[in-house]
Amino acid sequence: MDGGGRIHARVVSHTGAEHRRLANKVMEEVLEQANLPFDEISYIIATGYGRMNVPFADRQITELSCHTKGVVSLYPNVRIAIDIGGQDAKGLKISDGKLIDFVMNDKCAAGTGRFLEVIASALGLKVEDLGSISLKSTNKVNISSTCTVFAQQEVISRLSEGAPLEDIVAGLHDAIASRVVKMVKRLKVEPDVVFTGGVAKNVGMVKTMKDNLGCEVSVPEDPLLTGAIGAAILGKEITLKAMAKGEFIPRKERRLEEVTFFK
Amino acid sequence: MSVKNRNKGLTRVREIYQDRSCRVKELKAEGKKVMGYFCIYSVLEMMTALDLVPYRILGDIREPITKADACLPTVVCPFVRSCLDLALKGKYDFLDGVVFGHVCDVGEKTAHIWNIYLNPPYFHFIDTPHTVHKAAVGQHKELLKEFKKTLEAFTEKKITAVGLKKAIKAHNQQRALVRELYELRKPDPPLISGIEALQVMVALVSLPVEEGNELLEQVISEVKQRKDGPQKKPVRLLVWGSIIDDTSLIEMIERLDANLVMDDTCVGSRAYWSGVELTKDPLDGLAYRYLVQLKCPRTFREVTFGETKKDYMADLEGRFGYLRDYAKEWNAKGVILQSVRYCDIHGYEVPGVKDYLDHVGLPNIYIEHSYTEAALAPLRTRVQAFLETLG
Amino acid sequence: MTDEKKKAMNRLQTMYPLRALIDEMYKRSVEAGKAGKPTAWCMVNWWEGDPIVKAMGMETVYPENYGAACAATGAAQAYLDRSDSDGFPTHMCGYARNCIGYTARMMELGEIPPEAPMGGMTKPMLLVGAGTLCDARYKWFQVLGRYLDAPVWMLEIPHPGVREFMMEGVSEHNIKFIVEELREFVTFLERLVGRKMDWDKLEEITDDIIAINRLWFEINELRKVRPCPMHSRDFWTCMNASLYPSGDLKVSLDLYRKMYDEVKSRVDNKIGSVADEKYRLVFAELPPWHSLRFFDQLAERGWNFVIESWAYHPPKPIDLSKVSDPLERIARHTYQWLTGYFENAFNAGEYWGYFAYPYLEYAKDYKCDGAFLHPLLTCRTATNHLMLVHDRLMKKLNVPSLVVEGDIVDLKLFDPVDAMRKAETFEEIMDHYKKVRREKGFDW
Amino acid sequence: MAWFMGIDIGSGTSKGVITKDGKPKAYHLLPSGVNYKAVAQKLRQELLAKVDLSPKDISYTVVTGHGAGSIPFGNQQVADIRCCARGINSIFPSVRTVIDIQGMSSQVIRLNEEGQVTNFAVSERCAAGSGRFLEIIANVLRIDLKDIGSLSLRSKHPVAFTTGCAVFGESEAISRVSEGISKEDIVAGAHKALANKISTLLDRVGLEKDCAISGGGGLNTGLIKSVEEKLGIQLLVPPHPQFITALGAAIIAEERQNHQKG
């Protein structure tokens, strides 16, 4: 992102176990896309689960703050942001652009994207296809097990009892949505509601979330990037503020080699 | 003076924190009897008065629970399970006896299970009342008389009024010293970190009262002088909730951009804020202090009790007003409400505390942990985000 | 349920009118609410506070029973979710969360929720808490202050199964304590209701309750024979009239009399409560209210549940006729309940711990082949001691236990298929230990 | 010439065995997939084909396992725990304790000399106590499940998994990875954690030797090692451990047949 807040390059890549190597790879790609030398980057903020493993980042900020920034930049009137990723689900309460309260679940795969991943693989389906399948459903099957592991077992037996696939998949979507919405309700939901994260790409989930929340939800065109965009904005703000004051900004060395974990 | 000498007290504190039983085992070798007690409702003065060494039973957040599952279900307080687990693994074999108060359901059942499976030479259960009615205080005094009887039978000594008053003075002095220590957390940056403070508190429940007092005096004087105290951080925090007997949670918080300057938790300030009044019959002062003045959610306490109309806010004010005062005096900007998983007595309190803190405008966050180091990792994000909302 | 399933379990005819009393209890309190008469929500308090509240002319309902009712009718889930989104941890007592959710919804609507089972619980004038046995019951009524302006009175009582109570003089000061408590309670109620206590009425109610409990105790004594004439399901249905003494106690007394006669005639004619009694079991603690049909399936396999949780049972009878002060009579009656089941343990010089010992006595007296233990994921109190019970029954009596996790309210936590798989295996185990007991010279 | 069949429809895989005179003559395994009915029929066909028999040659069939309810054939349904006990008893009569580690749960079963169950403990409704835990860890580390055992054997310093829950375990594994800890140490840690779970199950029912392992877990060398280390005993590992329950079902079929005769 440049000083004017224009985005020049975006990269999304699957996080494996090796956060650090990945961070380097992503950085290389994004620099190549923007066709910039590394040193040109004034400030780098790392966020998300692996934020501690971005050796070249000048600062680490949690995904909650970054998501807030990112979402607000896209939807200035947002009051509630819901982010469902593969690892966790978050609800953010936002008041004039600032994060004032939040809830999150990262204890349990149920109610996260992981839930869908695990079960999709058990059903031999692609996660991307789940949404469209679920929309075909006429009466969704109620999935009683909370734990992903047992929900998977339950799904298999439902199928063996001859329940139609789409109804089960719809049931799964509903299971996540109801869990997340129950959690988010602790924030006292009010519009505008924005839905982000990998799961927000799933049309079925978007529909179920609307049904469960009983209100409209907006989804940015690239729901995976809101956190990164927010981080970039925060980086921009920090830099501009320091420049205005004429302060020197401490920066990490711009190096992309394998670094061993700092201890 | 070398750093080591300058921080002699804190070094001793760390020694004890790392090997809690080291001192009491020495004392046992010298022929003293060591009395394990569970939670803060066991009346320490009565043990001290008989020259017994009270030693608080704590868990070990680093030790996976394996043995306890055979006699306690897994869906109960992991702190209690950990305590029992250590005992079943023989780590509390050096205790000459154990004392349990009726602190909470799990504590109470564990008392019986402990007695059955470990069969200690001395065992006493105080059925501490759960309300603060006048009648309940009288009942509590009667219960302390029984405690006195069994202690005297076990030690074949008598508790004299003089001896008991002496013990009360010693423990009151410890409470006063702890409050003095906490005073040193008021400056910004605090003169002593949350981690160090907790280590001191853990040391105190692992030593005879006099030795604890000496150690406190030493720590207080050296902390006042030292130059290598905590750094200034953007946020000062107050922490409330269930027991914290391991520094890892506090470390997680202080590693982030915050100083933990005050607490209302067990092992922390909770057991030290109120002293015992020296009444004509010392048992009156003890019965009152240990039932009415100790403020743990295990006791039913309602400001509007006995009124025919209920006023929720007045009730909250009466129950949690002290938290606002703590925040004010220690200049804390936010409150971390924390509870170990499956703790009912704290669980029921949470929405009320939140209602109150929101009402008085103190930002707060509730985190629940399962008494394992690992479970802290995901909590870090919550706490950091909370700090970011404050900053 | 298919017909032959119905046949497998032989319900008592006299159970049905007793069951009907519960519906009346809710109806009466709603009407009283409408009529602006004093009403109270009570924790089960083992007759410590009931007679006093009743004598003050208050209509009572019991939110714990309402939790079971909501569970049985499937209404609970919505209330649990509500308490959940109000920020109460989900591991808390299912009854409490159900009650919190219900109250939140009722106060929001400004009236009894239309979907509320049994016609709902009317907004109370008073909350009578009783911590006896469990922390939740100290804390949960206080929590309702978030939604209700009804004052809470907390009844306090010593804890059951405490060995220290066997020390000389302790029981007497315990009784004294309870009486003092109750006196404070009476003065409070007089202020609240603006009416003086009618001591004669109190005495009459107290004696009715004592009579009901004595009869109820005798009925359960009859269950020791083979085949057992009365199944736990009938017990759970009929305990209400003892545990929740509301309405006309003379009616309850009469219904229990009829019940006694029916059970007695079954004993005389060797009629069992299941078609073919193969296994006799003791159940601990709280049943899965939402899945009681599970017991019909077990009945088909010859499982008879012959005795259950002592805490649901009345005190072992003692003579209180000489006690003149009704408050002291109440105190001694309740105190007998909370110590009576342990005396033998302590007299035998055994240390058992609260809740574990009565099951040993039950297993012996009711000749049980096994124990069905039901750990609850949302109730510490009814769960903490079950491992101990399991261990002691085996060590002392060679009676095996079947452990099936579940919950009282949240049916998501009970899996009947898995339970049945364990149950089938358990039959083999009960057979095995029947042999072992014979070899070791036990008489069953 | 009496033949018997045992069918075990697990939630992950379905196993079938044909026996004669208490000895296994044919084994077959299929992924359970989503249609238990179909897989059971297919399993039967392929089993019969292996010994070149037709359905009528089978005198008695016992079905068991998670999906037993939906099997269209079979003379009787028996709980898998009992089948497992009989199965192991037919191979190792000296075994008094068997640790059965399946995809969805683990159980420790005590049995007497006749192979009757005398006590058992099933892991709680928590995947941490089952083979599923290892699958989850393998999945989050993106390693192939079949390599997980051998990988763990290469570990020098297994990480301590302090959590008791598979999903916690997952996030814990992630945070360990992010601390730069090697996959083998994490996997080995996961094995140790499962071994701990199993030993607490054992604490409930008591360990009496000989002790055997069965179920899919019996194929995992890393798991066997960590259980043996934890318990300080040698585990007997039967041939085809994942078939023990199906085998037991066939044995019970044989018993029932003889019982009916005389």
Do residues B36 and B97 lie in contact, with contact meaning Cβ atoms separated by under 8 Å? yes
Question: What percent of chain A is modeled with pLDDT above 70?
Answer: 92
Do residues D241 and D214 lie in contact, with contact meaning Cβ atoms separated by under 8 Å? yes
Task: Starting at the earlier edge strand, list the strands of the sheet with B97-101.
Answer: B53-56, B34-38, B97-101, B122-126
Chain A contact for B359 (CB, 8 A cutoff): no
User: What per-residue string of b and e applies to A140-150 under the rule 16 or more CB within 10 Å gives b?
Assistant: bbebebbbbbb
Assess if CATH 2.40.37.10 describes domain D94-237.
Answer: no
Amino acid at A230: G
Chain A contact for C87 (CB, 8 A cutoff): yes
List all residues of chain B from 118 to 177 with a beta carbon under 8 Å from chain C: 124-127, 129-131, 133-136, 138-139, 142-143, 146, 149-150
Tell me the two tokens of residue B71.
């006699």
Tell me the two tokens of residue B114.
């402990």
Across the interface, do C86 and A186 touch by the CB < 8 Å criterion? yes
Do residues D244 and D84 lie in contact, with contact meaning Cβ atoms separated by under 8 Å? yes
Sequence-distant (6+) residues with CB within 8 A of A124 are none
To test the contact with chain C by mutation, choose from D63, D119, D208 the residue with the greatest count of C C-beta atoms within 10 A, namely D119
Structure confidence by residue, pLDDT tens digits, C277-291: 999 999 999 998 888
Q: What average pLDDT does the structure give for chain D? A: 87
How confident is residue D163, by pLDDT bands cut at 50, 70 and 90? Answer: low
CA atoms within 13 A on the CB side of C401: 28
Structure confidence by residue, pLDDT tens digits, A140-153: 888 877 667 677 77
How confident is residue A260, by pLDDT bands cut at 50, 70 and 90? Answer: very low
Q: Cα(A262)–Cα(C260) distance, rounded to whole angstroms?
A: 77
Q: pLDDT at position C76, please?
A: 92
Give me the mean pLDDT over the C153-162 stretch.
89
| pTM of the predicted structure, to 2 decimals | 0.87
What are the start-end ranges of the H helices in C194-322?
199-221, 232-238, 240-243, 249-268, 294-300
The full DSSP string for C350-387 is ----TTTHHHHHHHHHTT-SEEEE--BTTBSTTTTTHH
Q: pLDDT at position A19, please?
A: 60
Structure confidence by residue, pLDDT tens digits, B113-140: 999 999 999 999 999 999 998 899 999 9
Across the interface, do C415 and D125 touch by the CB < 8 Å criterion? yes
Do residues A45 and A235 lie in contact, with contact meaning Cβ atoms separated by under 8 Å? yes
- Domain D1-92+240-262 maps to which CATH number in 2.40.30.20, 3.40.50.1110, 3.30.420.40, 1.10.3720.10? 3.30.420.40
Measured between CA atoms, how close is C179 to chain A, in angstroms? 44
Lowest mean pLDDT among C81-85, C100-104, D145-149: D145-149
Assess if CATH 3.40.50.720 describes domain A77-213.
Answer: no
**Coil, strand, or helix at residue D22?**
coil
Q: Single out the residue of D73, D68, D106, B71 nearest to residue C420, CA to CA.
A: D68
How confident is residue C353, by pLDDT bands cut at 50, 70 and 90? Answer: low
Q: Cα(B37)–Cα(B155) distance, rounded to whole angstroms?
A: 16
Sequence-distant (6+) residues with CB within 8 A of C349 are none
Structure confidence by residue, pLDDT tens digits, B251-273: 999 999 899 999 999 999 999 99
Do residues B326 and B240 lie in contact, with contact meaning Cβ atoms separated by under 8 Å? no
Across the interface, do A182 and C85 touch by the CB < 8 Å criterion? yes
End-to-end CA distance of chain C: 33
Burial of D37 (0-12, 13-18, 19+ CB in 10 A): middle
Q: Cβ of C221: how many Cβ atoms within 10 Å?
A: 11
Amino acid at C359: Y
Q: pLDDT at position B164, please?
A: 97
Q: Cβ of A260: how many Cβ atoms within 10 Å?
A: 8
Name C305's bridge partners: C281
The residue ranges of every structural domain in chain A are: 1-75+223-263, 77-213
Lowest mean pLDDT among B27-41, B259-273, B299-313, C205-219: B299-313
Q: pLDDT at position D1, please?
A: 61
Structure confidence by residue, pLDDT tens digits, B171-194: 999 999 999 999 999 999 999 999
Across the interface, do D69 and C432 touch by the CB < 8 Å criterion? no
How confident is residue C266, by pLDDT bands cut at 50, 70 and 90? Answer: very high
Q: Cα(A198)–Cα(A117) distance, rounded to whole angstroms?
A: 11
CA distance readout (Å), B59 to B78, C219, C364: 9, 47, 38
ipTM, interface predicted TM-score of the complex? 0.83
Tell me the Ramachandran region of residue D233: left when phi exceeds 0, alpha when psi lies from -120 to 50, beta otherwise.
Answer: beta
Q: How far is CA D232 from the centre of its chain?
A: 21
Do residues B286 and C136 lie in contact, with contact meaning Cβ atoms separated by under 8 Å? no
How confident is residue C432, by pLDDT bands cut at 50, 70 and 90? Answer: very high
How confident is residue C1, by pLDDT bands cut at 50, 70 and 90? Answer: very low
What are the start-end ranges of the H helices in C43-85?
50-55, 63-73, 76-85
The residue ranges of every structural domain in chain D are: 1-92+240-262, 94-237
The residue ranges of every structural domain in chain B are: 33-131, 233-390
CA distance readout (Å), C141 to B156, C65, C92, C95, C113: 45, 15, 13, 12, 20
Measured between CA atoms, how close is C269 to chain B, in angstroms? 43
Structure confidence by residue, pLDDT tens digits, B62-114: 888 888 988 888 888 999 999 999 999 999 999 999 999 999 999 999 999 99
Q: A45-46 and A59-60 as β-strands: parallel, antiparallel, unpaired? A: parallel
Q: D76-77 and D97-101 as β-strands: parallel, antiparallel, unpaired? A: unpaired
Q: Cα(A6)–Cα(A2) distance, rounded to whole angstroms?
A: 5
Amino acid at B251: E
Do residues B92 and B63 lie in contact, with contact meaning Cβ atoms separated by under 8 Å? no
CA distance readout (Å), C225 to C216, C256, C300, C307: 17, 19, 20, 11
Give me the mean pLDDT over the B367-374 stretch.
84
CA distance readout (Å), B134 to B280, C53, C72, C153: 18, 21, 41, 14
Q: pLDDT at position C2, please?
A: 43
Q: pLDDT at position C377, please?
A: 82
Q: pLDDT at position C378, please?
A: 84
The residue ranges of every structural domain in chain C are: 3-439
Residue given tokens 């399991």 in the structure block? C390
Give yes or no for residue A111 having a pLDDT over 80.
no
User: Do A1-75+223-263 and A77-213 come out as alike in CATH topology?
Assistant: yes
Q: pLDDT at position D164, please?
A: 58
CA atoms within 13 A on the CB side of A115: 33
Give me the mean pLDDT over the B200-215 stretch.
98
More confident residue, B218 or C87: B218
Across the interface, do C412 and A182 touch by the CB < 8 Å criterion? no
- Domain B33-131 belongs to what topology? Rossmann fold (3.40.50)
Tell me the two tokens of residue A222.
């690239």
Give yes or no for residue B304 having a pLDDT over 90.
no
Q: Cα(A48)–Cα(C428) distance, rounded to whole angstroms?
A: 53
What would the CATH number be for the domain defined by B233-390? 3.40.50.11900
Q: Strand locations in chain B, DSSP E?
A: 34-38, 53-56, 97-101, 122-126, 235-241, 258-265, 334-340, 364-369
Give yes or no for residue A21 having a pLDDT over 90.
no
Q: Cβ of B232: how many Cβ atoms within 10 Å?
A: 11
Do residues C415 and C291 lie in contact, with contact meaning Cβ atoms separated by under 8 Å? no
Give me the mean pLDDT over the C59-82 stretch.
92
**Which chains have at least 3 CB atom pairs separated by less than 8 Å from chain C?**
A, B, D
Do residues A19 and A50 lie in contact, with contact meaning Cβ atoms separated by under 8 Å? yes
Measured between CA atoms, how close is D104 to chain B, in angstroms? 19
More confident residue, C409 or D58: D58
Q: pLDDT at position C3, please?
A: 46
Do residues D218 and D101 lie in contact, with contact meaning Cβ atoms separated by under 8 Å? yes
Give me the mean pLDDT over the C66-72 stretch.
92
More confident residue, A162 or B213: B213
Task: Compute the residue count for chain A.
Answer: 263
How confident is residue B5, by pLDDT bands cut at 50, 70 and 90? Answer: low
CA distance readout (Å), C322 to C181, C218, C437: 21, 22, 45
H or E element, residue D100: strand D97-101
Q: Cα(B301)–Cα(B298) distance, rounded to whole angstroms?
A: 9
Question: What percent of chain D is modeled with pLDDT above 70?
Answer: 93
Lowest mean pLDDT among A242-256, B166-180, B295-309, B321-335: A242-256
Lowest mean pLDDT among C34-48, C281-295, D170-184, D241-255: D170-184
User: Do D1-92+240-262 and D94-237 come out as alike in CATH topology?
Assistant: yes
Give yes or no for residue A261 having a pLDDT over 50.
no
CA atoms within 13 A on the CB side of D244: 33
Give yes or no for residue D179 having a pLDDT over 60.
yes
Lowest mean pLDDT among B24-28, B208-212, C298-302, C412-416: C412-416
**Coil, strand, or helix at residue B142?**
helix
Chain A contact for B385 (CB, 8 A cutoff): yes
Give yes or no for residue B1 having a pLDDT over 50.
no
Chain B contact for C182 (CB, 8 A cutoff): no
Question: A93 φ, ψ to 5°?
Answer: -100, 125
Structure confidence by residue, pLDDT tens digits, D120-143: 988 765 666 677 788 878 887 888
CA distance readout (Å), D141 to B241, C108, D104: 36, 48, 20
Collect all residues of chain D within an 8 Å Cβ-Cβ radius of residue B255: none
- CATH class of the A1-75+223-263 domain in this structure: alpha beta
Q: Cα(B242)–Cα(B349) distance, rounded to whole angstroms?
A: 11
**Coil, strand, or helix at residue C83?**
helix
Q: pLDDT at position C58, please?
A: 96
Q: pLDDT at position C5, please?
A: 44
Q: Cα(B80)–Cα(B85) distance, rounded to whole angstroms?
A: 8
C-alpha angle B349-B351-B357 in degrees, rounded to nearest 5 = 100
Across the interface, do B64 and D204 touch by the CB < 8 Å criterion? no
Across the interface, do C425 and D124 touch by the CB < 8 Å criterion? no
| Rounded (10°) CA dihedral C190, C193, C195, C198 | -70
Q: What average pLDDT does the structure give for chain B? A: 94
Give me the mean pLDDT over the D71-95 stretch.
94
